[in-house]
Each structure stands twice: as structure tokens, then as C-alpha cells.
Chain A
């Protein structure tokens, strides 16, 4: 029988398809799908636009750099509308119907949580978030190791604070903290770190923000006869608290958190009263790979990279891209284990952008380890799937805020190992 032209075309297409399949590793269907859920509409929408663009830029770089296991990557992004049920449904759809091999999202902890517990962890799909910081997810041990985040949790700052207070010989510390997930997380991690690094907490006093006076809280803290103070909160309330603390005769050994690194705080209390107070902050890593990302983003979208979540979202997707190439197949457990090989201790450094991704693929094919330095610096996950970032210590000298020292990411990672064991 003579094949009709249509049939020969179909045959040719099938043959090409077979050839393509032959060049990729076994059992990988093209294109490889990565799913994402972000609040594209709703109250978070203004900040999400750039975050979504960062994710798409990462997908573009992966594709230009050689894709995943020889396949192009397709990114399917769904909206959670800022609603947990909508976000969970979208994630379930992506995992079950679209069969995405890996997942990134989302911003609000209240949506990331149910997605972990009802979609990604039970279905064993790797999930990396750019933006959810609630410590409960990684600490409750129910994610099965499938959940990661590229944003440092408050742990980084709390541990850095603890090293600094230990170095300065803080004893009998009173902790006054704002009663939010941020404040309670900071306190919890500080407590853990102090137990290992030295020092002791004599009293923990929570406060609610926007009160006219904190005399009751300060009095309660002072009743425990502390010799030092750690204040975790926001500048406006901190001004009131520090004034009351000093006027009631509280000791002048005071540590602060990142929010107080502003002249509003210094001038609010009065510069001469806060001399030698010190605090912590996350230090944005600088370097060629960070600059490369910033430049590529600005070129593509004609917008700057200022704003939350942009760098961490890019890294979340790039880590998936690298891990899926390292993984022996595209099943959840393989990808999960491969995520931890994205930053091998003795690996060759690879950075951001398509050229660096191509370089990484060549290394992976040659069976050599890689060390990803992303848009937020080196990305190494701890046992819980959290990353560390560098921190800096600042202090107030002559009414000015000056940087005391930088705790490098290597020091931070050593610190994490020491405290978490």
C-alpha cells in the first residue's frame, strides 16, 4: 500500500518525535512541567507581579540553557486569589491533572500551609516557596522533606543575635517581643541559640503593637531583675518601650532587631540615650551572580529588582531546574534528594543566567558536583529545608547607625550546624 502524503507527514513527525525521545534520558516526557501558584490578584497582587516575572525569567533561562533532561520546560502559573481553598484547588489541579513534576509557591503562609499538608506532601511533589516564612511548616516534620524555601526565616537573625549577645557577655536577659509570628519565631530561635551559645533569659514579655504606653510590660520585665534587654518589635513601639525602660532604671545593655535600624528609632528615643545599642539585619549578598540577575531582570522587564520575593523566587525556580537535571528521574523523591545536591560542598560554582545554567548542565552530565550561587547568594538548605543568609551587626555610635561587622554566609552556616546539630 502506498502511503498518502498525509500519512507520510504523520510518519515523519512520529520519527522525529522518536529521535527526540531517543536523545533524552529514559521515561521523560517533553515538555517537563513546573507548576506555580501565586496571588496574582487580591491584596498581594501589587508585589506579586515582579515575583511572577522573576519565576518566568528563571524558566526562560533554564530553557535557553538547555532545559531539563533535554526537554523544554513549560511553566504553568495559577492564581490563589489570596484564598487558601482557591490556592489548594489550583495546586491540586496542577499536581493531578497537569502532572507537574515540581511546584513553586506561594506567598501567604496561610495558603502555603494547606498546600503542603493536603497536596504536595501527600503526593510527594517538591515544593519551593519564595516567600512564606512561618517556621511551623519546616518544624512540624510533616512535609516529608518535600518542602523548601529560598527565603531566610527569622532563624537567621535570631541566631546571629544570639552569637552577638554571647560575644558581648549578655547575662540575665529580659526579652520583650511583639506578639506576631515574627516576634514569637524570633524568641523561639533566640532561646534555642542561647542554650547552646551561652547567656540566659530571665523573663519573656510579649506586647501588642500600637499601644500608647508599655509601662506594664517594662515593669514586668524589670521585676525579674535583668542585666540586659533584647527588644524584638517595630520602631514606633520600640521608642516608647526603650524610653520607659531607661526611665525606670533598666540596664543599658540592649540588643535590637532589624526593624530598629532606622534613624526614626534613634532620634525618637534620643541619640545620646541609645549610644552603643546594637542590632542585627539580613545582609543582602553582593557579587557577580547577584548583579548578573539584577541586570538580566532589568533588561527584560525594564523595571528594577527592588521589592520582596523577586530574588528568592528566581532562585526557587533555578534550584528546581538544577535539581531536576541532577535527579536520576523526575519522581518526587529523586528531585527532593537532588535539591540537596544543588550546593555540593566541593562543587564548581555556577551562577545566574542562561550561560551559567548551560555550564551547570555540562558539569552535571560529566558527573561533577555543582555549587549554585543564586540571586540571593549561595543556596544551601538545612535539614528542615530552610536557607541561611548572611547577617550584619549594626550599632549606634555618636547618633549614627554604623555597621559593626558582617557575619558571612559561611559563618552563619557554621552557626546553624552548631546550634541545630
Chain B
């Protein structure tokens, strides 16, 4: 067994994987883990090289575009301690191409695909559950606290959809934000966030939506369990229709 360490950032992990796959003819005999700087830590540290990371990603995109997509969503999950699984997933992906995602009996493939699937699912969910509020200056703001770092693909989705309006997304958990105005999509961080004042007609529109939400349910078919399993309560905090319940 050959042991390697990396710094645990996405660039660091990917550049280490790139190097390992280049140097070892049998990566099955290699393990990779995140450096924790403990006294007895064993293994050779591989320094971060963004170019190497990028290189690996483009190779993967070419040989196995589905696997590259899986990797993208895996990264959004910000999971720690999975560098070794990632190494062996990418090794398998470069070997088998896109059908690798079906190789779920392989433990590393299963680990990566499972985490990636969760991030992709939350992104899909948030495309529906995100709620914008109209602000006094006419812009729209949506706040969220997702489990995964999905602001980038989410903002892209809304840049195709809500093109004609000026809007912001704000991830309260990570203090990251995205804005769209007149065809320009931007990303950044907000350290000091104060909730801005709402537009004067905002409450009126919200009341309409709340009324609709109430009447659209068929009383004879009430099913709160089903509602919660489809729409977990952790998302209710920012749902306009669930305010004041």
C-alpha cells in the first residue's frame, strides 16, 4: 500500500488524484486521505496544483461526461473524508467511461454516486421551493439554507428563467450570494446581511398565494404525512405559504 495525503480542498484533492493516476500503474494499491496534521500521520503529501486539477477534470469530461457531472455534484456536497473514494471512483470512470455509474457494487463508486445524487436532488428541489420577495427598489430577493452548496447551478437556472427581472439569491448558511441584472450573472459573499424592506404590494401578493395554497387542497384528502415527506420541514422556513403556521 502506498499512502498519500492532500489538503482536502477540491483543487487539492483533484490534483493529488491526477498525479497518482499518472504515476501509478495500479492505483488499486494506493490510498489517499485529507491531511489532518496529527503527529503520527503517515503518507506523502501532494501539494495543490490547480492546473493539474483542471487537467484531470477535462480528461474526465472527455472520457466520461456523465461521471464528470457526478463529480460536479459531488463537489457541491462539500463532503469531507472522501478523498480515497473519489480517487478510486475517478480511476474506475477513466477505465470504464460513462457506464461506471452503474457499477454500484464497487464501494467507491457507490459512495460518490450516492452523495452526488443527494446534491442533485436538492438542486432540483430548490428550483421549485425557492421563494423570491419583491423589494422596495423593485429587485427580488430569495433566501435559503440548503444542505449543499448549490447556489451556482441554481443561479444559472434562474438566469435562464427570470431574465427580465433584477434578482438576488442569498445562501444564509454559507454567506454567499448571486445576482442577476440586465443579463449579467455575478457571485460573491455577503458578510453583513440586513434584510431589506419589502415592496409595498409584496404582502398583498403573498396573501394571494397563501390563500391559493389553502384552497387548492381537497379537505377530504388531507394528508400531512405525505406533504412532509414530499416537502421536508427544513425547507419551510423561507416558504411564503408556510409563514405564520
Answer yes or no: do A and B interact. Answer: no
